[in-house]
Amino acid sequence: MGEAEAEFEPLILAFCCNWCSYAGADLAGTARISYPPNIRIIRVMCSGMVHPALVMDALSKGVDGVLIAGCHPGDCHYTDGNLKTERRFEAMQVMMEDMGIETERLRLEWVSSGEGEKFARVVREMTEQVKKIGPNPFKPR
């Protein structure tokens, strides 16, 4: 049992905004700060572009975790796209509860273009957390 859990490698999707978080992820690379290879980054123009339905769709298809990363409040390239995401995030958590998925599988983080270290830390933490929760029950077997 314990062995099987140790072997579980989660798949985590990250939606990173083009202006801050994607650049932050790049900086983590430039600074050679390593993090677990479980993350797949999808570039979007703004975190406000991430449709809750898209996230729910991904989770219902078996993605183990979803990270939405945007600019810090007040720093959004589009003024307050990230704040809209913050409100949608609450909605998404409600949807997850209704679907019976652990809300900890979804995480919203503010990562600026200068915070490579933070990006790596968030990915590390999230991978740990999702590993603890275990595989997504919706994952097709």
Partner 1 sequence: MPKTSQSARKRTAKPRKRAERRPPRLVPEPPSRLPRPFMPKPIVWKEGEAPRIGVFICHCGVNIGGVVNVPAVVDYAKTLPFVAHSEENIYTCSEAGLASIKEAVKKHGLNRVIVASCTPRTHEPLFRSACQEVGLNKYLFEMANIREQCSWVHSHEPEQATEKAKDIVRMAVARATWLQPQDEPEIDIKDSSLIIGSGIAGLTAALSLANQGFKVYLVEKEPDLGGNLRRLHKLYPTMQDSSEILNPVIEAVKAHKNIQVLTSTNIMDVKGYVGNFLVTASKNGQKTEFDVGTIIVACGSLNYRPPEGLYQYGIYDNVVTQFEMDQLLNKGAIENPDRVVMIQCVGARKGEIRAYEIEAFAMSDTSRILRKILKARKEEGWPYCSRICCMNAIKNAILIKEQSPKTDVIILYSDLRVYKEYEDFYSKARDLEVKFIKFIEEAGPEISETPDKKMLVSVYDMLAGHEVKLTADWVVLSTPLIPHKDSILLARTLKIPLSPDGFLMEAHLKLRPVDTQMDGIFLAGSATGPKDVPESIVSAKAAAARAAILMANKKMRTEAITAVVNPDLCRGCGRCEEVCEFKAIELVEVAPKVVNARVNEISCKGCGTCSVTCPTGAITMKHFTEKQVSAMVEAALTGT
Binding site for partner 1 (CB under 8 A): 11, 13, 18-20, 22-23, 25-30, 32-35, 37, 40-46, 48-54, 56-58, 60-63, 72-75, 77-81, 83-84, 86-88, 90-92, 94-95, 98-99, 112-114, 120
Name the residue nearer to partner 1 (CB basis): 51 or 132. Answer: 51
Nearest distance in Å: CB 109, partner 1: 13
Closest approach of partner 1 to the CB of residue 67, in Å: 13
Which ranges in the chain belong to alpha helices (H)? 2-7, 21-30, 52-60, 81-99, 116-133
What is d(CA 59, CA 46) in angstroms, rounded to the nearest whole number? 20
Q: What is the sign, positive or negative, of the torsion defined by CA atoms of 9, 88, 115, 125? A: negative
In this complex, which beta carbon is closest to partner 1, that of residue 1 or of residue 140? 140
The minimum distance between CB 4 and partner 1, in angstroms, equals 18
Write out the DSSP string of 104-125. Answer: GGEEEEE--TT-HHHHHHHHHH
Q: Are 114 and 72 in contact (CB under 8 A)?
A: no
Question: In angstroms, what is the minimal distance from the CB of 92 to partner 1?
Answer: 7
**Nearer to partner 1 by C-beta: 5 or 42?**
42
